[in-house]
A and B are shown apart, each in its own frame.
Chain A
Amino acid sequence: MSRRFTPKIVTANRLREGDVVYLTADDRWSPFHHEAELIEDEAHAQMRLLFANAQKLTVVGAYLADARPGPNGPEPTHFREAFRTRGPSNYPHGKQADLAN
């Protein structure tokens, strides 16, 4: 039996700024992980990744990352993805500062 599919989100970096973004169910790129579409089905995940990869003038390096449902929307399960939602730990730079308000 094949392994059970773990839920995923599609994430990438913006082409111009390099900022981390997440693909939403309504085809937007959001800076917020909790706004990402949580994908529970493998075939759908591949379709969404193809869609993301086609956005060549918007994002770069799209990939599927593990996530889990949370009270406000999808949450990262791996620390690397958790860091990507915030920014570096040595300065208040990146999302933790840009999106504070």
Chain B
Amino acid sequence: MYSYSDFDEAFVRARVAQFSQQVERRLDGSLTEDEFRPLRLMNGLYLQLHAYMLRVAIPYGSLSPRQMRQLAHIADTWDKGYGHFTTRQNIQFNWPKLPDVPAILSALADVQMHAIQTSGNCVRNVTADHFAGAAADEIADPRPYAELLRQWSTDHPEFQFLPRKFKIAITGSPNDRAVTKAHDIGLRMVRNAVGEPGFEVIVGGGLGRTPMIGVTVRDFLPEADLLPYVEAILSVYNTLGRRDNKYKARIKITVHETGKEAITEMIEARFAELRPQFGGADQKLLAEIRQAFAPPAFRNAPTDAYDAFYRADPVFRAWADTNLTRHRNDQYAIVTISLKAHGKTPGDATSEQMRLIADLAERYGHSDLRISHEQNVILPHVHKSDLPALHAQLVKAGLGTANVGLLSDIIACPGMDYCALATARSIPVAQELATHFEALKLEHEIGPLKIKISGCINACGHHHVGNIGILGLDRAGVENYQITLGGDGTEDAVIGEKTGPGFAYDEIVPAIERILRAYLDLRLEPAETFLQTFRRVGMEPFKAALYETERTQDAA
């Protein structure tokens, strides 16, 4: 794992000192709220519905056990004993008090963490494949590149006042688990004709008010060109981006208005200017960073105990079938710890759970932890012989839910339970969907399904790329939920299609049930997933199931 250099350490400490003084000046009246707001946002501090909220970056989703314990300590000392992991691999504390925030930032700095650039019109936390360094399908570990991008973008003087926020995602695998096509810049590792690794560069993806799938501006970028090329993209955007209209300020609009060919030419022209200025220092730094991400010393031991346990214990088997992913080392598995226990808040972990996860990572997981954009925790390297013991301890702590990739593994934004921008609640909809289908015992029969819920048009819950997307709106003073179907956040990214009129809060769960019962009737065989069925039969049969039943009920 990357460890701060003296420069990083000094920079983060200096920022804590600076913000501590700014808080002091706000509290004594020397700064007005208008003056203070941009300063607090630069440090991840929002004012939400019921309280302040502090958003802390977890760079490319990587955490050490020590950092996880410190997050637990912060939750206990200055918050309400829990934290919320987000779709951007951040953690949010929902109840900090303004005078305590400097102490929290200082506690974060103690474990090489910060909240810098988690808000504002700058390059945000760079997100990455949560299986980085472990996945069997990986070309190269994306984290060294993500760390290079983090260092380059942190306090970059040219990019502190971009037209709008800017999100970069990176994956080292051809199978995209980082939703790269829905980011301002998506970097997808590929190999060229002679087998060298490089990046497909995707620009102008994004969800929100105007959802768009990014366009590929370079099919193959040699890895040595990464930084100058990304800088060229930012530079073109910084010049062209619409500062006159907040709703047209993201790079997706710039790409759309400029046209793929014209913007590609501008990026290439700027790249030609910038490339010679990168004299190789970036590559030297990358080589150093790479050493920090060397694979752990994998154990060589028999896995028979795992196989025997798998055959003997149906509860363990169910968990292994859903929550494990193939590791590059056959003796190992990637473990996803579900933060989606039925009826609980998606992405929330109590301080006790955080401490247990930290202990388990040390005992069984080579001290490596990841947070996924799907709001779960990953132990990327667990020897298979340790899985039965690990599972038993997870179950005891309420962390053994066997539902990863299934219906109740729902992404949900905080919605109107916390967020000042929200137009409706998301969390209780996720809770009710999970408990409803759990009671019906349909979840495993339905199989792989991604439901994603956003409580407003800004789409933090990624609803556009959910197989079933739910968007909460305010329709004439009442919560109303719009459904989209067929969205997909993988390398074949697709924006979901709206079904039609939305549903009231107490109608949304029955509406989803109608869609899923229609799917069970329509699928050719149990192995055909919801998304495959939707792609085969299209929207009409689902619309019929959704709305005709309703009409029949109205007529009765």
* A interface residues with partner B (beta carbon < 8 Å): 13, 15-20, 56-57, 60-61, 77-80, 83-84, 87-91, 93-95
Which residues of B are at the interface with A, using a C-beta cutoff of 8 A?
A: 26-27, 29, 32-33, 47-52, 80, 94-99, 345, 416-418, 425, 427-428, 431, 474, 477-479
A16 to B27, Cβ gap below 8 A?
yes
Pick from B29, B33, B95, B428: contact of A90, CB under 8 Å: B428
B96 partner residues in chain A, CB cutoff 8 A: 18
> A17 and B50 in contact (CB under 8 A), knowing A88-B417, A90-B345, A90-B427?
no
A83 near B49: Cβ-Cβ < 8 Å: yes
Chain A, residue nearest B80 (CB): A93
Question: 25 interchain pairs (CB within 8 A)?
Answer: A15-B27, A16-B97, A16-B99, A17-B98, A18-B52, A19-B50, A19-B51, A20-B49, A57-B29, A60-B33, A60-B47, A61-B33, A77-B477, A78-B477, A79-B477, A84-B49, A88-B94, A88-B418, A90-B427, A90-B428, A91-B80, A93-B95, A94-B50, A94-B51, A95-B50
Number of A-B contacts (CB under 8 A): 74
Interface centre among B49, B50, B345, B425 (most CB of A within 10 A): B50
Q: How far is the CB of A78 from chain B (nearest CB, A)?
A: 5
CB distance from A52 to the nearest CB of B (A): 12
Contact B98 A16 (CB under 8 A): yes
Cα(A13)–Cα(B95), bound, Å: 13
CA distance A56 to B29 in the complex (A): 7
Using Cβ atoms and an 8 Å threshold, which residues of chain B touch A83?
A: 49, 416-417, 425
| Most B C-beta atoms less than 10 A away, residue of A19, A61, A89 | A89
Cβ of A61: which chain B residues have Cβ within 8 Å of it? 33, 47
Closest CB-CB distance, A68 to chain B, in whole Å? 12
Contact A18 B97 (CB under 8 A): yes
* Min CB gap B455→A, angstroms: 11
Cα–Cα, bound, A93→B348 (Å) = 14
Contact A13 B418 (CB under 8 A): no
Q: In the complex, what residue of chain A is closest to B479 when comparing beta carbons?
A: A79
Identify B50's interface contact among A15, A20, A57, A60, CB under 8 A. Answer: A20
